[in-house]
Amino acid sequence: MGKAAIFYLKKLETLLRITASLFLVSIFITGCGGSKVVSFLNDEFSFQEKSTYVLVRNGKRSDSLSDEHKYLDSLMINAINSQMALHGFSKDNRPDLLVYYDVIVNTATEQRMVNNYNRYNRYDRYDNYYYNRVSTTQFREGLLLIEIKDRKGKLAWQGSIDIRASKKRKSEDIFSQAIADIFNNFEIYK
């Protein structure tokens, strides 16, 4: 295995550990309720005199994404750019800050078993019997992570939220709301 592959695997391992930690913390905090943002502000970092940023995608390169993922990626880019502008930052080629974003998505399966007790059969006789009904649902769930670092790579702020795809809500709405929720916790004092 080459040095580049080892380096990539170590980075991936670190990202997975951070993601797992954030996921467990968010489960602990939210319990069975809705998604909650987990954020971290580095108190040693000063946002004073920081006014520009550039957006950097973690994970796969954008040219290796499917058309659907490219579309969702563009939605996320637009939503993050809008939120950064609302917080007084502008895009620049020589930025003060690097804004990293990534979505880690899994396909999960949920099974529910309902135990039914029936006392009548079709001939109207008393027959006590049980039957189980099992419903299986596949869905997509994941974590949306946004990190803000300085040009040297020092972490200034990090926010994440659990996301779950739903047939009732469009992906556009899910990501827009998730990004807005994350940036609602982006409280800096310039």
Task: Measure the N-to-C terminal CA separation of the chain; round to a whole number of Å.
Answer: 46
Tokens of 28: 């602990």
Give the span between the Cα atoms of 186 and 156, in whole angstroms: 11
Residue 146 belongs to what domain range?
37-184
Residue 30 lies in a domain: no
| Digit-coded pLDDT (tens) for 105-155 | 777 777 777 666 555 555 555 555 556 677 777 777 888 999 999 999 999
Count: domains in the chain: 1
Look at 19-23, 108-112, 184-188 and tell me which has the smallest mean pLDDT: 19-23
Residue 14 lies in a domain: no
Q: CA torsion angle for 95, 54, 79, 154 (degrees, to 10)?
A: -80
Residue 6 lies in a domain: no
| Digit-coded pLDDT (tens) for 48-73 | 889 999 999 876 665 666 777 788 88
| Sequence-ordered list of residues with C-beta below 8 angstroms from that of 172, at least 6 positions apart, any chain | 72, 75
Residue 103 lies in a domain: yes
Residue 1 lies in a domain: no
Residue 58 lies in a domain: yes
Residue 22 lies in a domain: no
Residue 61 lies in a domain: yes
Question: In this structure, what CATH number is given to the domain that contains residue 138?
Answer: 3.30.160.670
| pLDDT score recorded for residue 150 | 92
Give me the mean pLDDT over the 170-174 stretch.
Answer: 77
| pLDDT score recorded for residue 14 | 65
Torsion sign (Cα): 53, 59, 65, 67: negative
